[in-house]
Structure 1
Amino acid sequence: MPSTPEPEDGASRPLLADQREAQNNNTAGDGDDTPPSSSAPNGGTFTKNLGALEAFAIVISIVIGSGIFTSPGSIDTNVPSPGAALVVWLIGGVLAWTGASTMTELGTAIPGEGGVQPYLQYIFGDVFGFLAAWTWIVAVMPATLAILSIVFVESIYSSLGITDQAGRIEHKLFSILILVVISVANSISTKASTRLNNFFVVTKFVSIAAIVIAGVVVAILQATDPDRDIGGRDWFNKPWFGNREVTNPDGSKTDWDDLSEWETLGHLSAALYGALWAYSGWDKAIYVSAELRAPARQLPLAINTAVPTIVFCFITANAAYYILLPWDVVSTTDSVAVTAITRLLGRGFGIVAAILICLVVAGSLLGNSFVAGRMAVAAANKNWFPSLFASVGFIGLKPRTEAEPNSSDDSQGSSHAARSDAPINAITLSAILSALYILLGNFRALLTFNGLGEYSFFFLTVLGAIVLRFREPELRRPYKPFILVPIVFALVSGFVVIRGAFFAPVLALVVIVVWIIGLGFYWVKKRFSERQVE
């Protein structure tokens, strides 16, 4: 059964001291060489059956999604040159890496399921941990899944030349259908999810490799025969750095030589905002750290191989876009990959490209749905959400009982193995909330809403990591980046929140309302728990 924090201590002190003590006892020696247990330790819900490769694949699957195929146009519109766009992609990747490194420090120092929830609870107290869990479960992750479902369907429509159907009910219902299919796939078992995820990772690398190889081939053909009419040709005839006149999606022009410093800063910040969104998902490995066999070693390994791989893929793919397309086309399309392949090889290959991109987005959907369910389980285990959502392998109210076998005899073991180990109730909750967001929202509003909710707690978490360096310098940190790393990301995440609130005050107000409702839910549940104790 999940442990329940003592009500009188919840809001006033960190509540993971007991878990930290258990961790220190377990890691007094090397720690990573201890054979993994067959059951979850410290009352955890999931078994430690994931390795660094699975964590690497989850990060790759979540981050390499729609962003690399749809964001280049919006970023190109807000930079003075293609070279500057590639620099923005590099800076965005480095900044995402600083955030991932800081989260890895916390993930290896503070045990617990649920990502930022246990970190904020440990550093600032129960209320902050709950509010992070609430925001992720009812806002951030459902909005993310809604966005990806919409993009999946939009990619299909775009390949058919239809670009104005996103608001129609048929489009929304199709998006919900895709969401349901992915949720069912994640409900089979953890092993089935990770195997399917590995397939999607392969499709992501294949898709990006196809774009990059096409760019390299066009570059070689153009360089060997300058008069050949192939690709975009602008890359060959124009400087990659230096101000230019940019064509906007509405047909207007932006002359960078005529912009003031303030206007230039506004455009560049919008470009960086777009890059950070494309890199979103870099934090997701920490949400399965409780399922890693040796998190102190495997989590840093997964992060520090996945993020550089993603940065390399994003930069090379964007360089290929500028080779394959005229530069004024890059700035005006939201489906740059499909546009590039269609222009180079024809509509048939464009449809193939759209299918690959749909598979890429499906992989991101699968990874995010996988993580979303585990967030709800972690919150239910802390008695923040109904215990229904802590159940694993069942639909509805049927609980896991102590009488169920773990590994007694062969017949019992096979019966246990046959049952799903997926958090089906939690996945269902996430799917229902996501479907509501699809019906009530649209792509751009959900994107801003998601960013405001997510980066608010990224800022608090990274700020907490800095505070913890001074408050508890003796805390065992198997992975400890230089102090400048969390400081840089704290500044970046603070910038993202302030900029988003400034340009979308209504959505910022909606996020605040979500927090107020969450706090009301927290205090009601706390008072109810106190009365039960009395």
Structure 2
Amino acid sequence: MAEVSKNEGNDTSTKLKRNLGLFDGVSIIVGIIVGSGIFVSPKGVLLYSGSIGLALVVWILSGFLSLIGALCYAELGTMIPQSGGDYAYILTTFGSLPAFLYLWSALIIIMPAGNAITALTFANYVLEPFYPECEPPDSAVRLLAALVISLLTAVNCHNVKWTTKIQDVFSVTKVLALLVIIVAGLIFLGLGNIQNLESPFQDSKTDPGQIVLAFYSGLFSFAGWNYLNFVTEELNEPNKNLPRAIAISLPLVTLIYLLANFAYFTVLSPTELLASNAVAVSFGRRLLGSMAWIMPVFVACSTFGAVNGGIFASSRLFFVGARNGHMPKLMAFLNITQLTPVPCLIILGIITLAMLTTSNVFVLINYASFVESTFITMSVGALLFLRYKQPNWVRPIKVNILLPITFFILCSILVCVPIFTQPKDVGFGLIIVASGIPAYFIFCKAKRPQWMKNMVSSIEIFVQKLCLAVEEDEEIEEKSADAMPESADNGGRIANNGGETADLDKETADPDEIIKLKDESQDESNGRLHQD
């Protein structure tokens, strides 16, 4: 292992580096949120709300709800400054099994299928100009999607700075695309075209189930607001830059989304909008004339950046899970030259490519949406629980208690209503989660026979040689106000108050045993962090 250097400027240790600044943080949030949703399917909000006026209200409230959630996650992310987002918070608060179930659901369906669908959207819009009279061939779409996933996985393996530069460029590009839509719509409105806006709340729906589905469509377009929490360990000054990035990006995205939808409704009638599978393209054909080709290009740029950001953030989630013993240990290896989790990225890339073999991915994502909402609700519940259970933990950011309570109640409603309105989707979502329970006891709790240990060790050595990767170096030092007692340890060592360490067998250590030792160490500190 490389030696841990105390000099930040000459740090040669093998660990994740803090290479992300404020602009990178904003780009990650904006780049992931503004994917294909706002360009392709805003009609879902209109379909379930019934009117233009109520649809705009849903967009505003969806942005507001996402902002409240992001502020709650800012408190969690600075109180528990570990990469992994929801996984780290659930692990710290509720223990090993619930955290594993989140990780299992994310690995099996949520993350790879989401990235695959975004890549398929990219491929569709790149190929559309070459097939103006028909749909692009399915095989060509899947092949191009596979190529972009492979390319961006390779870029993420090679260099974090390259990844963030791509994210920065394409985040700016997609915002420019939305500005084109907004400006064109406002010009069209300024010419006196107000017929679509004369009765904005006509035909509004009042059924609670339909309203909840409208919010699901709106919140889908804001998905990704919590992804910066997956890479907290790589963010410079997270106590400052995490909340700043949230405070900049969420209001910006909400305003842009609201104005873009207003532009859509100005140019397209509700009937035209509901009949379109690609609203931005229909908008361009109606208003931009010979320049209509620019919309597919903008959508392609948007989805390209979203795939890049999704691969970057989700790989860190599984890296942290492997580091804590909830994923194969080889997924916690870092390349010794680029300091990127190459094995984890390759495994995630392979699973994502596998999702391209079936069109049922889209159905599975609908099932998984309920699961993801459930775990987000659990994460905010963790914030409320820790406010009561650990009131003395240092919180660099502490939001008003009404915000997490409000967010928890609203998320609970969004989780509970589909149980009655969409029981089939909820049932399949629960099956995905439940399938992780036997996997947890087999892979995390059961003792492995010697032959299996030897086989796993041989595979790990092969992966280390193939990827030039090793385990992350352990940083044994006094915890500062920026550090939080971890629920699970990096590599099986626990630092106590006296600076001594307790060693655990990395092959046989139970994640629950690691968590117990961590909690005992924290109890000796009276639940408080050390100040430098």
The interval holding the TM-score normalised by the smaller chain is: 0.7 to 0.9
Deviation at 1:519, TM superposition (A): 2.4
Q: 1:37 to 1:385 in 2, by over 3 A?
A: farther
In structure 2, the residue matched to 1:242 is 201
Q: 1:138 aligns with which of 108, 132, 136?
A: 108
**Partners in 1 of 2:197 and 2:29 — Cα distance?**
36
Q: 1:431 aligns with which of 349, 362, 365?
A: 349
Q: Which moved more, 1:298-307 or 1:154-163?
A: 154-163
| Unmatched 5+ stretches in structure 2 | 449-504, 511-532
Describe the superposition over 1:338-395 as per-residue Cα deviations: whole angstroms up to 9, x where unpaired.
111111122x4222210111010110000000011111211111122122111222xx
**Partners in 2 of 1:37 and 1:132 — Cα distance?**
36
**Partners in 2 of 1:512 and 1:81 — Cα distance?**
33
Q: Which moved more, 1:84-93 or 1:438-447?
A: 438-447
Secondary structure of the structure 2 residue equivalent to 1:392: strand
In structure 2, the residue matched to 1:303 is 246
**Partners in 2 of 1:440 and 1:201 — Cα distance?**
29
Q: 1:182 aligns with which of 152, 169, 176?
A: 152
In structure 1, the residue matched to 2:524 is none
**Partners in 2 of 1:208 and 1:486 — Cα distance?**
31
Q: 1:331 to 1:150 in 2, by over 3 A?
A: same
In structure 2, the residue matched to 1:64 is 34
Deviation at 1:455, TM superposition (A): 1.1
Q: 2:413 aligns with which of 495, 517, 527?
A: 495
Deviation at 1:501, TM superposition (A): 4.6
Kindly indicate whether the alpha-carbon contact (under 8 Å) linking 1:39 and 1:48 is maintained by their aligned counterparts in 2.
no
Q: 1:118 to 1:161 in 2, by over 3 A?
A: same
Q: 1:164 to 1:270 in 2, by over 3 A?
A: farther
Q: Which moved more, 1:312-321 or 1:150-159?
A: 150-159
Residue 328 of structure 1 pairs with residue 251 of structure 2: no
In structure 1, the residue matched to 2:437 is 519
Deviation at 1:444, TM superposition (A): 4.0
- Aligned positions of 1:272-291 closer than 5 A: 272-291=215-234
- Aligned positions of 1:41-80 closer than 5 A: 45-80=15-50
- Aligned positions of 1:14-413 closer than 5 A: 39=11, 45-156=15-126, 160-161=131-132, 168-220=138-190, 222-223=191-192, 233=193, 235-236=194-195, 238-244=197-203, 261=206, 264-346=207-289, 348-393=290-335
Describe the superposition over 1:182-217 as per-residue Cα deviations: whole angstroms up to 9, x where unpaired.
222222210110011111011111101111111122
Kindly indicate whether the alpha-carbon contact (under 8 Å) linking 2:66 and 2:222 is maintained by their aligned counterparts in 1.
yes
Deviation at 1:121, TM superposition (A): 1.1
In structure 2, the residue matched to 1:528 is 447
Kindly indicate whether the alpha-carbon contact (under 8 Å) linking 1:40 and 1:48 is maintained by their aligned counterparts in 2.
no
Deviation at 1:521, TM superposition (A): 2.4
Kindly indicate whether the alpha-carbon contact (under 8 Å) linking 1:55 and 1:288 is maintained by their aligned counterparts in 2.
no
Kindly provide the amino acid, as one letter, of the partner of residue 330 in structure 1. L
How many equivalent pairs are there? Answer: 448
Give the TM-score normalised by the residue count of structure 1. Answer: 0.78
Kindly provide the amino acid, as one letter, of the partner of residue 223 in structure 2. S
In structure 2, the residue matched to 1:460 is 378
Kindly provide the amino acid, as one letter, of the partner of residue 89 in structure 1. W
Kindly indicate whether the alpha-carbon contact (under 8 Å) linking 2:51 and 2:201 is maintained by their aligned counterparts in 1.
yes
Describe the superposition over 1:123-176 as per-residue Cα deviations: whole angstroms up to 9, x where unpaired.
11122222222222222111211221122223345554567668x444333322
Describe the superposition over 1:274-303 as per-residue Cα deviations: whole angstroms up to 9, x where unpaired.
000010000001111111221111111111
Secondary structure of the structure 1 residue equivalent to 2:292: helix
Secondary structure of the structure 1 residue equivalent to 2:343: helix
Identity among equivalent positions (%) equals: 26
Secondary structure of the structure 2 residue equivalent to 1:440: coil
Secondary structure of the structure 2 residue equivalent to 1:439: coil
Kindly provide the amino acid, as one letter, of the partner of residue 431 in structure 2. V
CA RMSD in angstroms, aligned pairs only: 2.7
Secondary structure of the structure 2 residue equivalent to 1:56: helix
